[in-house]
Amino acid sequence: MTSSYTDNLGVEKITTGDQAGTWGATTNTNFDLLDQAIDGILELTLASAGTSGSPTSLPITDGAVSNGRNKFIEFKDGGDLGGTAYVQLTPNNAEKIVFVRNSLSSNRSVILFQGTYNASNDFELANGKDAVIKFNGGGSGATVTQVFVNLLATTVTANLTGNVTGNVTGGVTGNVGGNLTGNVTGNVTGNVTGDLTGNVTGNIASTGSSSFSTIDVNGGAIDGTTIGATSASTGVFTSITGSGTATLATVDINAGNIDGTNIGAGTPGAGTFSALSTTGDNIRVDTSQTPASSSASGAKGEIAYDTDYIYVCVATNTWKRVALSTF
């Protein structure tokens, strides 16, 4: 009777009573096939990039040692292949999980597929990357997918150079070169060169430049920098203490004191006071003036003087005066 073969590894199943005198040789071959499938490591040098219609074959041959059966396959070349490499696992009904590495030169990718080529069913292994992939053995419509799509790990000590889309609940002590869109509840002590769109409830120690559309600082200190230096905006402060000089385009003081300085000392300007009080014994008006007439232009409450009179504007454009005398 004719032997049959397993679907996935092509191991020969000897029919009862067959292969008298050669049974041992077949069994030893089967052991070699199992050994290759369990722990086989292959460095496969691709002769050409191939195409989706004429790819490099990665066969699992019934009853014989063959490249596609290895547990780990590293793709290499003898020089730039000139394009993306195409590799097809055969037969299309074999289910297979394999570790792969792309060591091609010139930053070339490897497209891995199994059934009739379909871009939605293949897997692209980027240059310099490792992956664990699954050939599902689905016949002409077979798919090739990455095994660890949603990897659950309690601790990651390696560098993360891709995008992190989940939440990180521990500390990040290395550099994140991709985008971090989840929440980080631990400390980030390395550099994040991608976008951080989640929340960080731990500490961020940064020596680079960070841009935040909104920031809420509830404690600590902001040292060694100018707030609003590029595009100043409004803010609310419960207390501001400054040892240097502050220049404010507009100041609205609703309470408190202005101590130890002259208002308008550089270039005095007009001001309106609901009540004016001085602890000194005089009020000084440095510049004298004489209204042209009792109907000269003036606003109610203005006071002026010259060497002979004190003038008071008692209504709009209405002045009165009192004479001055020596004593």
pLDDT tens digit string along 5-30? Answer: 999 999 999 998 898 888 899 999 99
Q: Report helix, strand or coil for 224.
A: coil
Whole-number Cα distances in Å, 30 to 14, 33, 34: 10, 5, 6
CA–CA separation, 32 and 14 (whole Å):
16
pLDDT band for 297, please (50, 70, 90 cuts): very high
- Band (pLDDT 50/70/90 cuts) for residue 241 is confident
Q: Higher pLDDT residue, 145 or 241?
A: 145
Strand, helix or coil for residue 35: helix
| CA–CA dist 72, 98 (Å, integer) | 6
**What is the separation of C-alpha 121 from the centre of its chain, rounded to a whole number of angstroms?**
30
209: pLDDT strictly greater than 80: no
pLDDT of 146 higher than 80: yes
Higher pLDDT: 93 or 327? It is 93
pLDDT of residue 254: 75
Give the per-residue pLDDT at 264.
57
pLDDT of residue 88: 98
Residue in the block written with tokens 């292949």: 81
Strand pairing report for 41-46 and 4-5: unpaired
Return d(Cα 12, Cα 2) in angstroms, integer. Answer: 10
How is the chain split into domains, by residue range? Answer: 4-146, 154-206, 288-327
| Closest listed residue to residue 181, CA positions, set 163, 193, 169 | 163
Query: In the numeric block, which tokens belong to residue 190?
Result: 């390395």
Beta carbons within 8 Å of 199's beta carbon, 6+ residues apart: 183, 184
Give 234's pLDDT tier (boundaries 50, 70, 90): low
Q: Provide mean pLDDT across the span 241-265.
A: 71
Average pLDDT over residues 285-308: 92
Q: What is the pLDDT of residue 237?
A: 67
Does the pLDDT value for residue 126 go beyond 60?
yes
pLDDT of residue 295: 95
Tell me whether residue 71 is exposed, middle or buried, using C-beta atoms within 10 angstroms of its C-beta: 0 to 12, 13 to 18, 19 or more.
middle
Confidence of residue 273 (pLDDT cuts 50, 70, 90): low
pLDDT-derived band at 112, boundaries 50, 70, 90: very high
Average pLDDT of span 122-151: 95
Whether the bond into 91 is cis, omega within 30 of 0: yes
Contacts of 114 (CB under 8 A, 6+ apart): 88, 89, 90, 92, 94, 121, 135, 136, 137, 138, 142, 143, 144
